[in-house]
Amino acid sequence: MENYFQMHMEKQQIDAISNLGLAHIGDGVYEILCRAYLCAKGGQTVKRLHKESVELVKAPTQAKLVEKILPVLTEEEAAYYRRGKNAHSHAAPKSATPQEYAKATGLETLFGALYLAGRTDRLNELFGLMVE
């Protein structure tokens, strides 16, 4: 049985997934990291946790936070980020500029690729740099 919690796909398999497919899984990975981060901080009501989670997952926030990690990305990681950033998505939220949405999609694509590769330590490292 496949362990979908701990993925270990080969690069070739990951590269066969569309840019927006990687962003789709990366969106969920990013959200769970945000929720875990907020819960680990402790001392918050559910209402406050929800409000802060929503703030962290918004495209403008993601676009701002991704700037912190761009200088430390490996060549391969930067390539995944660019794949997502350059993906042609036809639906951008009203709360974000097209540039912010592209950066957020790039971040989600990167996080999706890292998750599918089983590189959770690197995901944690990058996420930690973003929320420092």
pLDDT tens for residues 73-98? Answer: 999 999 999 999 998 776 777 888 98
Q: What number of other Cβ atoms are within 10 A of residue 81's Cβ?
A: 23
pTM over 0.85: yes
* Contact yes or no for 32/117 (Cβ under 8 A): no
Please choose, from the candidates 54, 52, 77, the residue with its C-alpha nearest in 3D space to the C-alpha of residue 66.
77
Give 15-47 pLDDT, tens digit per residue: 999 999 999 999 999 999 999 999 999 888 999
83: Cβ contacts below 8 Å, ≥ 6 apart: 19, 22, 106, 109
φ/ψ of residue 117, rounded to 5: -80, -5
Q: Which of 22, 27, 30, 126 is catalytic?
A: 27
Per-residue pLDDT at 38: 95
CATH superfamily of 11-131: Ribonuclease III domain (1.10.1520.10)
H-type helices in 1-132, by residue range? 11-15, 19-41, 46-57, 59-66, 75-85, 98-116, 120-131
Residue 121 designated active-site: no
Ranges of each domain in the chain: 11-131
